[in-house]
Amino acid sequence: MRKATVQRRTKETEISVSLDLDGSGVYKVSTGIGFLDHMLEQLSRHSLIDLTVEAKGDLHIDYHHTTEDTGIAIGTAINQALGERVGITRYGSALIPMDETLSRVALDVSNRPYLIWRVEFSKPKLGEMDTELFKEWFQAFAQAAGITLHIENLYGDNNHHIVESCYKGLARALRQAIEIDPRKRDAVPSTKGVLGGSL
């Protein structure tokens, strides 16, 4: 049962996350940030991870704390649900087109967090959300989930399409990486027998 529930409370945010890695992509998301909700729904739907997120944050200041802390909470829940990461495929990648946009995501569920972010935006805001916050979300997520995550927008003009292709790419790559490998379902996918600081 690869499930987890995480409660994160600070002076800036209160976040509750529940997820099931072996779900069907059912989601219920409410962060108070409409565009972030849309992206997290895409993450759930295309990864087949059942995801419930309830977040309340200091949106009267800006969207930074809620965005970052949501990434932390979801990443933490994924980390907990993976446990010792026995039997997982470990690696995943996706090349996601969205109209004029093409983005590439590759990841290693290695328990060695790292983010490479090669994504640029033509405008500082997408609706009411600062576009710089998307890197903050992916950084927080990768760190908390223990994932080496490389995201690159190869080309694109529409900022909405660029961001959405990144989230969908994460979803599809994550779906591959956390699948149980039927040939090695009882083994940790590492020559050292553990993941985290290992090859």
DSSP 20-41: ETTS-S-EEEE-S-HHHHHHHH
Inter-residue contact 120 to 154 (CB < 8 Å):
no
Q: Assess if residue 101 is contained within a domain.
A: yes
- With a CB cutoff of 8 Å and minimum separation 6, the contacts of 113 are 142, 143, 144, 145, 146, 147, 148, 149
Range of the domain at 78: 3-178
Q: Assess if residue 21 is contained within a domain.
A: yes
Is the confidence at residue 46, as pLDDT, over 50? yes
Q: What is the model's pLDDT at position 101?
A: 98
42: pLDDT confidence band, cut at 50, 70 and 90? very high
199: pLDDT confidence band, cut at 50, 70 and 90? very low
pLDDT tens digits, 125-163: 998 899 999 999 999 999 999 999 999 999 999 999 999
Q: What is the model's pLDDT at position 196?
A: 63
Is the confidence at residue 116, as pLDDT, over 70? yes
Is the confidence at residue 66, as pLDDT, over 70? yes
Query: With 0-12 CB in 10 A as exposed, 13-18 as middle and 19+ as buried, what is 120?
Result: exposed
pLDDT tens digits, 89-115: 999 999 999 999 999 999 999 999 999
- Average model confidence (pLDDT) across the chain: 94
Q: Assess if residue 198 is contained within a domain.
A: no
Mean pLDDT of 157-177: 98
Q: Assess if residue 140 is contained within a domain.
A: yes
Q: What is the model's pLDDT at position 113?
A: 97
Q: Assess if residue 189 is contained within a domain.
A: no
What total of structural domains would you count in the chain? Answer: 1
Q: Assess if residue 120 is contained within a domain.
A: yes
Q: What is the model's pLDDT at position 198?
A: 44
Q: Is the dihedral of CA 151, 71, 129, 115 positive or negative?
A: negative
∠ CA 55-34-116, rounded to 5°: 80
Q: What is the model's pLDDT at position 190?
A: 66
Q: Is 5 helix (H, G, I), strand (E, B) or coil?
A: strand
Q: Assess if residue 17 is contained within a domain.
A: yes
Q: What is the CATH number of the domain that holds 109?
A: 3.30.230.40
Is the confidence at residue 53, as pLDDT, over 70? yes
183 alpha carbon, distance to own chain's centre:
26
Pick the more confident residue, 174 or 194: 174
Q: What is the model's pLDDT at position 51?
A: 98
Q: Where are the alpha helices (DSSP H) in 24-122?
A: 34-47, 64-82
Q: Assess if residue 183 is contained within a domain.
A: no
